[in-house]
Structure 1
Amino acid sequence: MRFFLLFFAVVLVFPILAGCWDQELLKDIRIVFITGIDYASNGKLESTSLLRDVTSSEVGKEETNELHTVVGSTPRRMGDILNMEVGGTYSTSKMRVILLGEEVAKHDIYPMLDIFYRDPKSALNAKIAVVEGTARDIIKIKKTGTLLVGDHIEKMLESMEKATIIPEITIQTLCSVMLDPGEDFALPYIINNNNQPAVKGLALFQNKHMTGKLDKDDALLYLLMVNKKNHTARITLKVHEEKEPHVRNYITIDVENLKRKMKVTVKDNQIKVNLDLKLKINAIEYPEDDLDEKKVINDLNDKLSKILTKKSEDIIQKMQKVNHDGFGIGSQLMAFYPETWKKIKWPEQYAEVQFNPNVSVEIVNHGIIN
């Protein structure tokens, strides 16, 4: 009896294990590792892609890039045209990076990404960035040093994420915030520095449109203010004016811990935001020394607090100028002041929000010497 029950169970399970009906063999496809989207001269879209080729020889395997540029009305149409050019079917399932030319980013970027959200085989963990000028010029570099350009950009973005210069963001994580009317997002901003891709800072977006930029120094403090510190956050600041040699005017700090508190209030139709940022830091470079003296520490804490508070005010002004609601003030209003949200015009009202930022710094460590 037990044998028949076992046999019956196996017969029922077999149809479920019928095999991989949707398998995609590597020998039948061409893998797109990095792709970029720009506007063509005729107003259509232009896609520049690097297809990964691996060749074997007696000395081992060698990876090369095959460059393809196609023009079409939509991303899907460009994919169909690319299929006609390559030997085998192109696949974005292993894609690591997608780049958007600056002119493309200044318009609604969702139509450029819609194809990835609808295809179940898309690499939703691919990184996304905006390029100064055209994505085509970056991708045509093909190789930087010993690395293919796609590998170089991926590793560069990962490094900048860990250093809290750019946010950790992928096509998948971008989707929810991109469709949120109460919060805006920022993407890495890449430049071509003498045929060497480099992160210059952040591209600021408002409602799926790029409206402004921040350089790397501002980008780090911006990410601290939006409570997105990663592995490290290192800042070099000028705390003296006339020391000799010049290097003695500066201090370099690592942010070890941060606490951020943001409170949004509405009174008499005036929206106010109190943003308090408390930083515990490690002084990792300070040629002036004397960090064993309490007065020196207290003076530095005061100076650093004032400098970073002023910088935060400047960053907020830049954000308001381009209507970039990176703090999610709109979401706070929708949740806690729904009547106010219904009456105001957002994001036009964002420029009139009264921000009161305050950064307080405490040196808790200064290395193994005074």
Structure 2
Amino acid sequence: MRITGILLATCLMAMLLSGCWDQQLLKDVRIIDISGLDLEPDGKLRNTSSVMDVSGSQSTQKESNEVHSGKGDTTRDLRDILDREISGIYSSSKLRVILIGEALAKEGIYPYLDVLYRDPTSALNAKIAVVEGSAREAINIKKVGTKLIGEHFNKLIQSMERKTVVPDVNLQLACPSMLTQGNDFAAPYITKTETSPTISGIALFYNDKMTGTLSAEDSLLYLLMADKLAKDANLTLKVENAENQRPENYIAIDIQSLKRRLKINVQDGRNIKVKLDLKLKVTAIEYPRDHLNEKKHVTSLDNTIGEELTRRALAITKKIQQANHDGFGIGQRIQAYYPNTWKRLHWPDDYAKVEFDPKVTVHVVNHGIMN
């Protein structure tokens, strides 16, 4: 009995320890925290990766990075090429951000991301962003202030997500939209300035191809229309018709809450109408004209802001239709609720014919501590 118990205990211990066969020791790998993909003029793919290096003790820890770039036929081929010049095993298990050059984004990104979806060690929570021009140039900056370029882009994207300027999108969330029709995704769009890269809006995708952009002001309203209010959302609007640019002609609002109602109506089997009602409760965080304690003035202001945002919302729906970007999931809803209609549609063509009727209603519910 004693021998049987020892054998059972040994087998149990062997089963518990069997998961260590595929371990990757940190001393053997080089961590890639940001990677960029570009399409070269000759059709080749270029991968530019920033490799993190941590040295010193815990109290005097110093972080640095080295940038490696290579040109090849596929993403897997490039990984092998970079492996030959990096002193360690190329590892994307801690990847924070993947930057896509604009030329490659317009070509279609899924074939170049396929290797990341098949690798069980890939960081599927890595952020995706599109760069105006070349991703290589953005990564070659290496450092912005005291932050390494990977950390800088990661923090920059996260802060814009909290401000409802860009959507929360990563490798995992983008994948279903790239493989199916009826619900497209958008990603941060990064441009260059004299000092450092900046997020200037969002890149619109149809399946896996970039087809257009929205400015930061439009992207905020687009996300509200998509019912994706994050922690903060601020807008500055002109509410007076005066030609001068005096501060008294503007109001800055902070969106406290929203209610969105989206209704799809299909007529004659093909004519699709979408009514999108957006109700916003906002706080006036800057309004030099004041008088916000007067109900009549506040009501007039509510109407003015609502009309301006409705006008902008209609313009946004036209822009996303021109880009063939179904960011509100209209096609997905038709598939679910009108399956017979969906079978008769050719969505890339019929989406442009959808009639959008957006309406934004605004209520200023707070005006700060001033009376």
Name the CA distance, whole Å, in 2 between partners of 1:58 and 1:351. 57
> How many residues get paired?
369
Residue type at the aligned position of 2:321: Q
Distance (whole Å) between structure 2 residues aligned to residue 58 and residue 350 of structure 1: 56
Contact 1:141 1:195 (8 Å CA) reproduced: no
The corresponding residue for 1:357 is 358
What's the offset of the Cα at 1:172? 1.1
Tell me what 2:102 maps to: 102
Give deviations 1:93-145, integer Å, cap 9, x for gaps. 01111000000000121111111110000011111100000101100111111
CA distance in 1, matches of 2:10, 2:172: 39
Confirm whether residue 15 of structure 1 aligns to residue 14 of structure 2.
yes
Shift of 1:279: 0.5
Once the 2 structures are TM-superposed, how far is the Cα of residue 351 of structure 1 from its aligned partner?
A: 1.1
Partner of 2:51 in structure 1?
Answer: 51
Give the counterpart letter for 1:184 in structure 2. Answer: D
2:366, 2:180 → 1: CA distance?
40
Residue 253 of structure 1, CA deviation: 0.6
Deviation at 1:54, TM superposition (A): 1.6
Residue 158 in structure 1 maps to residue 158 in structure 2: yes
CA distance 1:249–1:48, shift in 2 (3 Å): same
How far did residue 180 of structure 1 move?
Answer: 2.5
The SS at the match of 2:313 is helix
Q: Helix, strand or coil: the match of 1:18? A: helix
1:56 is displaced (CA, Å) by: 1.9
The change in CA–CA distance for 1:238 and 1:245 in structure 2 (over 3 A counts) is closer
Q: Please say if residues 243 and 249 of structure 1, whose CA atoms lie closer than 8 Å, have aligned partners that are also in contact.
A: no
Matching residue of 1:208:
208
Distance 1:35 1:68 in 2: 10
Percent identity reads 50
Q: Which residue of 2 aligns with 1:36?
A: 36
Within the alignment, does 1:181 sit opposite 2:172 as a pair? no
More divergent stretch after superposition (32-41 vs 160-169): 32-41
2:134 is matched with 134
- Normalization by structure 2: what TM-score? 0.96
Rounded Cα–Cα distance in structure 2 between residues aligned with 1:57 and 1:70: 33
Q: How does 1:107-118 map to 2 (within 5 A)?
A: 107-118=107-118
Are the equivalent residues in 2 in contact too, given 1:204–1:324 (CA < 8 A)?
yes
Question: Does the CA-based 8 Å contact 1:130-1:203 persist in structure 2?
Answer: yes
Distance 1:279 1:11, change over 3 A: same
Matches of 2:282 and 2:230, distance apart in 1: 14
* Paired letter, 1:10: A
Deviations 1:163-194 (A, max 9, x none): 00000111111112222311111010001212
> Counterparts of 2:263 and 2:6 in 1: how far apart (Å)?
65
Q: Which runs of 4+ in 1 moved over 6 A?
A: 3-6
Aligned position for 2:333:
332
Cα distance in 1, alignment partners of residues 125 and 5 from structure 2: 42
In the other structure, the counterpart of 2:191 is: 191
- Partners of 1:244 and 1:330 lie apart in 2 by 44
Q: CA deviation at 1:15?
A: 1.3
Query: How many Å apart are 1:8 and its aligned residue?
Result: 5.7
1:84 matched residue in structure 2: 84
Aligned-pair Cα RMSD in Å: 1.7
The aligned counterpart of 2:272 is 271
Corresponding letter in the other structure for 2:63: E
Q: Deviations over 1:63-111 (max 9, x none)?
A: 1111111011000000000111111111000111100000000012111
Q: Secondary structure at the match of 1:85?
A: coil
Tell me whether 171-180 or 328-337 shows the greater mean CA deviation: 171-180
Cα distance, 1:197 vs. partner? 1.3
Q: In the alignment, what sits opposite 1:289?
A: 290
Mark the runs of 5 or more structure 1 residues left unpaired by the alignment.
Answer: none
Distance of 1:176 and 1:154 partners within structure 2: 23
Q: Distance in 2 between matches of 1:57 and 1:17?
A: 33
User: Residues 59 and 131 from structure 1, CA distance in 2 versus in 1: closer, same or farther, beyond 3 angstroms?
Assistant: same
The amino acid of 1:12's aligned partner reads C
Any gaps of 5 or more consecutive residues in structure 2?
none
Secondary structure at 2:107 match in 1: coil
Q: Is the 8 A contact 2:281 2:364 kept in 1?
A: yes
Length-normalised TM-score, structure 1:
0.96
**Structure 1 CA distance, aligned partners of 2:359 and 2:131?**
33
Question: Which residue identity lines up with residue 303 of structure 1 in the other structure?
Answer: T
Q: Secondary structure at the match of 2:56?
A: strand
